[in-house]
Amino acid sequence: MKTEETDDPQARIDAMNKSIREIAHDLSNPLGVLRMAVYYLETGEPDQEKRTHYYKMMGQTLDKIETGLRRLRALAVPPGPDGPKGDILQ
């Protein structure tokens, strides 16, 4: 039996486009945080506590970007019976 998802290819495309826009937004914010942290580390002379804070923030931000990339990969490579195949980002 076909699901609604496969019955309407345009609906699938629209849903995928929406997901991609959401992921792009989710990746854009962490990139801004990384830029800000690098800027403060380069332009100022932060004390050890501030440096530790910025490095921790950068690590957490990279985790968010990695999560977004996993979501994007899930859209790009439809799972087969043995899982995703051909994912060049892994």
pTM: 0.64
pLDDT digits (tens, 9 = 90+) for 17-71: 888 888 888 888 899 999 999 999 999 889 999 999 999 999 999 999 999 888 8
The single residue listed with the structure tokens 């087969």 is 80
Tell me the two tokens of residue 62: 């990279």
CATH for 11-72 (1.10.8, 1.10.287, 1.10.357, 2.40.128): 1.10.287
Tell me how many helices (H) and strands (E) the chain has: 3, 0
- The Cα 3–Cα 36 span in angstroms is 45
Q: How far apart are CA 8 and CA 27, in angstroms?
A: 29
Whether 58 and 37 have beta carbons less than 8 Å apart is answered as yes
Residue 15 is predicted with a pLDDT of: 85
